[in-house]
Chain A
Amino acid sequence: MSESPGPKLLLAEHRFFRGMDTAFVAGLQRHSYQRTYEPGTLLVREGDVADEFLLIFEGKVALEIVVPDRPRTTIQTLGPGDVIGWSWLFPPHRWRIDVRALKPTTTLGLAAGHLRKILDEHPAEGYRFLLRLLPVIATRLENTRLQLLDLHGY
């Protein structure tokens, strides 16, 4: 992982924040951290403190589950426009999955403590934020259900 040397990425241009209140997004931008990851490196490790909300701008990552004595399994891949996880939002603020870069990947990370404080202090924007995050959660749940059905096997 390295601090990204590339041009400054704008939170407002990410699919998740597009169209949200500009002052609100600009406030979040000031507490964002741009990083790049080489293929094979972990962005997130299961059990670690979930201290950032990560938004992918370039590249591709795999959400992986590791079970001892079993092969590492990829549950889903994510790319530009996607966000990584919600463990930072709810106690115990620990990641529940590994996230590994498959390609050179650039992210913006928002410091979780600051983001939670902003969402508390601005409930209207916080509500709109959750209205964007909840469909991400719901869609991933639906997709996982479909994967469990093993549709292509029949």
Chain B
Amino acid sequence: MATNSASSAAAPTASGVPDPWAPAPFVVRARRQETSDIATLELSPARGAAPFAFRPGQFNMLYAFGIGEAAISISGDDTQSERLVHTVRIAGRVSRALYDAAPGTVLGVRGPYGRGWPVAEAEGHDVVLVAGGLGLPPLRPVLYRILADRAKFDRVEVIYGSRTPPDLVYYDEIQRWRARTDLRFQTTVDKAGREWYGDVGVVTTRLPDARFEPSRTIAMLCGPEIMMRLTAEALEARGVSPDAIWVSMERNMKCAVGLCGHCQFGPAFVCRNGPVFRYSEIRPFLAVREV
């Protein structure tokens, strides 16, 4: 974690206290096209704004000036806090504006917000990361942290599912991860033609091949809710405790500080109490049709 950084991107008020509503200006330094509707932006502080520390799993509110704000997970390395990385998929007007942001564009940033992944708790354990679709970006900082301090973790299994091969994000980086011998990275897609020699099927079809000792495993899941629920059930069936399974929830977040209630999920606010939850905490609510 960088030491010369602020604790928040929020601009200070006259009293010097950070104003949680005021976005700090960050400039887009680089933009990488990931898929036809997903791009990764690299941001750095602009006009006196300061870099800030964050934890894997946290998110920022990104503001496209004049259009609106959206909650986007931080997908970069938390040891490089001066370089803020976000991967954005087009879902509406705001995300479209963020996706379109070219190098030089100034965006507003509020954050970081939320509870992150239990990386420290996972030290000394086997680690299973399961991502579906745009669930990989919020888990990538965990992988960076593990690989930076590989000896502190035992076996590491990553399973990443996507719709089709062209929908896989971080493609070049995945090839490097797959080439490593201290990590097992499986990719699978829902649908493919003959050009694809990888796996086809939902992520749970790859779990039987995953090597981990259930009683000493920490699992972190991020993706569509039904994918996380079925994966958690499959992990439990192999003997992983529901207390050792963590999921990242997604809800419509507006204020990001637990005031507006848009992201209420059962008794919790996803922005403040999550987005990362222990599976055992929220399991009762995952099967409820309208929460």
What is the interface of chain A, defined by CB distance below 8 A to chain B?
15, 60, 62, 64, 71-77, 79, 81, 102-103, 143, 146-147, 149-154
* Alpha-carbon separation in the docked complex, A67 to B188 (Å): 23
- CB-based contact A151/B200 at 8 Å: no
- Of A72, A79, A102, A150, the residue contacting B190 (CB under 8 A) is A150
Residue from A79, A146, A147 whose CB has the most chain B CB atoms within 10 Å:
A146
Give the 3 A-B residue pairs with the shortest CB-CB distance, closest first. Answer: A152-B133, A151-B224, A152-B163
> Which stretch (B10-18, B39-47, B202-210) binds chain A?
B202-210
The interface residues of chain B, by DSSP majority, are classed as mixed
Given contacts A76-B205, A151-B227, A152-B132, 16 further A-B contacts (CB under 8 A): A62-B200, A64-B194, A71-B193, A73-B191, A74-B192, A76-B200, A76-B201, A143-B201, A143-B204, A147-B190, A151-B224, A152-B134, A152-B161, A152-B223, A153-B133, A153-B163
- CB-based contact A152/B191 at 8 Å: no
* Alpha-carbon separation in the docked complex, A147 to B201 (Å): 7
CB distance from B32 to the nearest CB of A (A): 20
- CB-based contact B193/A152 at 8 Å: no
Q: Which residues of A contact B161 (CB under 8 A)?
A: 152
A77-B193 contact given A151-B227, A153-B163, CB 8 Å threshold:
no
- CB-based contact B227/A71 at 8 Å: no
Query: Does B226 sit at the interface, judged by CB under 8 A?
Result: yes
Closest to B198 in A: A77
A146-B202 contact given A79-B209, A151-B132, CB 8 Å threshold:
yes
Contacting residues of chain B (138-197) with chain A, CB-CB under 8 angstroms: 161-163, 167, 188, 190-194, 196-197
- CB-based contact A102/B197 at 8 Å: yes
* Alpha-carbon separation in the docked complex, A49 to B167 (Å): 37
- CB-based contact B194/A150 at 8 Å: no
Q: Which residues of B contact A74 (CB under 8 A)?
A: 191-194, 196, 200
* Alpha-carbon separation in the docked complex, A79 to B162 (Å): 19
CB distance from A83 to the nearest CB of B (A): 13
Query: Does B213 sit at the interface, judged by CB under 8 A?
Result: no
Q: Which residues of B contact A72 (CB under 8 A)?
A: 193-194
Q: Could you name 30 residue pairs across A and B whose Cβ atoms are closer than 8 Å?
A: A62-B200, A71-B194, A72-B194, A73-B191, A74-B191, A74-B192, A74-B194, A75-B191, A75-B200, A76-B200, A76-B201, A76-B205, A77-B188, A77-B200, A77-B201, A79-B209, A81-B208, A146-B190, A146-B202, A146-B226, A146-B230, A147-B190, A147-B191, A151-B132, A151-B226, A151-B227, A152-B132, A152-B190, A153-B133, A153-B163
